[in-house]
Amino acid sequence: MSDAFVTNQMDYMFFLSGLAFVVLAAVCFILRRMPGPPLPWIRLAWFGILFGLNEWTEAAKLGLGDEPFLASAHSVLLAGAVLLLMWFSCGGLVERLFPSRVLARLFWFFPIGILVLVMYLGGVEEYELAVFFFLAASTTYSSLTVWNSARSSKAARSAIVLAAVSMVLLAITLLASAPKGAVFPATVLNRETFLAVAGFPSACALAVLAILLGASLWECYQYLERAHAGAFLPKVVTSFGWQMTLALIILAAGGWVVTEQVGRREERALDAHILSRATVVANALEGNLAQKLTGTAADAQLPEYQQLRRQLTRIQHASPDIHRVYLYGLRSGKIVNYVASEVGRPDDEMAPGDVYAREPDAADANFFRDSIAYVSAPYTDKWGAWVSAVVGFSGSDFSFAPVRIGLGMDLSARDVRRVVAASRLIAILMSVFASVLLINLFIFRRNWWERTRQSVLHQGVLLHLSRQEHADFHAALERMTQAAAATLQVGRLSVWRFTEDRSDVVCVDVYDLSANCHVRGIRLAAANCARFFESLERERTLAVSAAQTDPRTAELAADYLKPRGVVSTLGALVLRNGGSVGVVLAEQIGCKRWWTIEEREFATALAEMVTLLIEADERRQVETQKFESEERYRQIFEK
């Protein structure tokens, strides 16, 4: 890519990079319910949102300048992204190292404290450098976390491995997105060296890798979803992913076309405005003063030269955005200075006869031959980047083509680009708004489809269980807990019953999904979980995301939840003859889970099935006792 193209399109590149991370966040929001490795995808989703907003903030800075509120938003968003990515990658490790919830929370203030200290001691640039180092390290550790999860999911191993590799590449690119610094590796690996070597900015690479990571995670979700459906759900192929991809591609391409049109229209209007200002300046000068100028060092002694220079300097000082105003000509194929305003820097002053460093181009040839005024492309010198407006200098001998002397007016190229970028920003904001609406629509449609799919799956499982043989109570219960745990994708699913005196609650059966085994006989004192059963009596179905700290289930934490790593629970009361006799408990291990309405209804249906199994078992016991009693009477009668 050419330097001019990169400079002109940098704002839209930041928009695309931000959009890619927001799309990654949308995929991670859906992955929360993925039937597979229990990773805290919600944290990665919020990282994507914050980093995407940071990229959009960078696009806004190109149009609005370094406004204080944008700089503050940039710093806060980067710090939040670091914290969330670290929380995703090593949150479980921290919780194991610091069992105390207070200590675990205090740990997360440690990286924020380091960043604040770096900003206080080193300034904004050092802070940004430290942030990107943290991001690269956290992304690398996140890749290891995702890689390790591939061991527990053979069906989607290739997609998970691709996601881990994408994270490694993303970590390297984040390191290359850091500003140049005095600390290795920022001395050799930074955004400037990346642009020089790759030919495109690191924002483009970040966008591509974020999309690759999102696509691999989506493919992983699709793999596990198909494997989870099993025999209870028809194999339905959905096109949500392709529809979303196509819609975003169309939106990005259409947004770029609109942004380009808006920018070019603003450039034409700005060029016309700059040329009109230069024309006003040329008309304000006394043209007859330039008749004696020859474009040589001898002009410096002429009073006409001194008077013109004073006029040009006053004009320059009257407009702070003007860097220099000057008269120049073309001699022997070189651009030669005639008169230039004073800029206040001795080493940047132009003397009469000085030759400009740049070579004449086609625009200069057209100007001196046909008197075609123009605004130059941005060019750079040791003082910065500039844009020149060139018009014919009005004088008695110079008002007709060919032109002998032209008037040039230098403006900051950064200020000119900012005006154009501000107009482009409106189109980019429209693209941001449209993309956010589109992503929200995608998430809404996907959630609606997922809820419908869950309902159909739950009905299929319940129908399958109802058709099974129920002659053996424990065998039927084991089939139910195993099928329910696999359907809900929870670590454990258990059924509990009160003893006859209701002093204890006994585990009739618990199925461990990872160990693929059944256990029974665990006993808890009813007095130690009284609040839990009071809440169940009141709500019938109790969905708790933070089971170890929620007041309704906290009394179970010490004896049952913490030793088994249970984080979230979904309980449904087993009722018989108007009273409670037990509970069905789904136990999520590893990370928090937010239970859906469909999952609550499924738990309620399981509790009703347990009631039916209990009643069927008691009927069999009564019939068995009756048969044995009749058999004894028959034997006595026959004797």
Dihedrals phi, psi of 346, to nearest 5 degrees = -55, -40
Q: How confident is the model at residue 25 (pLDDT cuts 50, 70, 90)?
A: very high
The answer on 130 and 191 residing in a single domain is yes
Instruction: Please report the beta strands in 470-545, taking only residues with DSSP state E, as ranges in sequence order.
Output: 492-498, 504-512, 517-519, 523-525, 541-544
* Cβ–Cβ < 8 Å for 577, 583: no
The pLDDT, as a whole number, for residue 442 is 87
The pLDDT, as a whole number, for residue 94 is 60
Name the residue with tokens 């990515």.
85
In a domain, 251, yes or no: no
Residue 193 scores a pLDDT above 80: yes
Q: Which of 409, 412, 334 minimizes the C-alpha distance to 368?
A: 334
Count structural domains, the chain: 3
The pLDDT, as a whole number, for residue 250 is 93
Residue 175 scores a pLDDT above 80: yes
Residue 56 scores a pLDDT above 90: yes
Mean pLDDT of 163-190: 87
Among 397, 417, 437, the domain-final residue is 417
What residues pair up with 379 in beta bridges, in sequence order? Answer: 386
More confident residue, 519 or 157: 519
More confident residue, 4 or 261: 261
The answer on 595 and 511 residing in a single domain is yes
Distance, in Å, from the CA atom of 165 to the CA atom of 170, rounded to the nearest integer, reads 9
The answer on 294 and 152 residing in a single domain is no
Mean pLDDT of 50-58: 94
Q: C-alpha distances in angstroms, 445 versus 252, 451, 460, 524?
A: 21, 10, 23, 43
The pLDDT, as a whole number, for residue 16 is 93
The pLDDT, as a whole number, for residue 152 is 59
The answer on 388 and 324 residing in a single domain is yes
Q: How confident is the model at residue 227 (pLDDT cuts 50, 70, 90)?
A: low
The pLDDT, as a whole number, for residue 236 is 47
Q: C-alpha distances in angstroms, 45 versus 24, 73, 137?
A: 7, 19, 18
Helix (H) / strand (E) containing 453: helix 413-466
**SS3 label, residue 545:** coil
The pLDDT, as a whole number, for residue 604 is 93
Task: Find the domain containing 495 and state its range.
Answer: 469-627
The answer on 96 and 162 residing in a single domain is yes
In a domain, 241, yes or no: no
Residue 36 scores a pLDDT above 60: no
**Residue 100 buriedness (CB in 10 A; 0-12 / 13-18 / 19+):** exposed
Q: How confident is the model at residue 377 (pLDDT cuts 50, 70, 90)?
A: confident
Give Cα 518 to chain centroid, integer Å.
41
In a domain, 167, yes or no: yes
Q: Name the range with the highest mean pLDDT among 117-121, 207-211, 298-302, 562-566.
A: 207-211
The answer on 524 and 379 residing in a single domain is no
The answer on 95 and 219 residing in a single domain is yes
Looking at residue 340, which CATH number applies to its domain? 3.30.450.20
In a domain, 246, yes or no: no
pTM to 2 decimals? Answer: 0.78
Residue 1 scores a pLDDT above 70: no
Q: What is the pLDDT of residues 231-262, one digit of tens each?
A: 444 544 455 677 888 888 999 999 999 999 99
In a domain, 452, yes or no: no
In a domain, 90, yes or no: yes
Residue 228 scores a pLDDT above 60: no
Mean pLDDT of 380-394: 81
Mean pLDDT estimate for the chain: 84
Looking at residue 559, which CATH number applies to its domain? 3.30.450.40
Residue 639 scores a pLDDT above 50: yes
Which residues make Cβ contacts (< 8 Å) with residue 127, sequence separation at least 6?
Answer: 75, 115, 118, 119
Among 398, 417, 436, the domain-final residue is 417
In a domain, 431, yes or no: no
Residue 384 scores a pLDDT above 70: yes
In a domain, 403, yes or no: yes
Which residues make Cβ contacts (< 8 Å) with residue 383, sequence separation at least 6?
Answer: 323, 345, 348
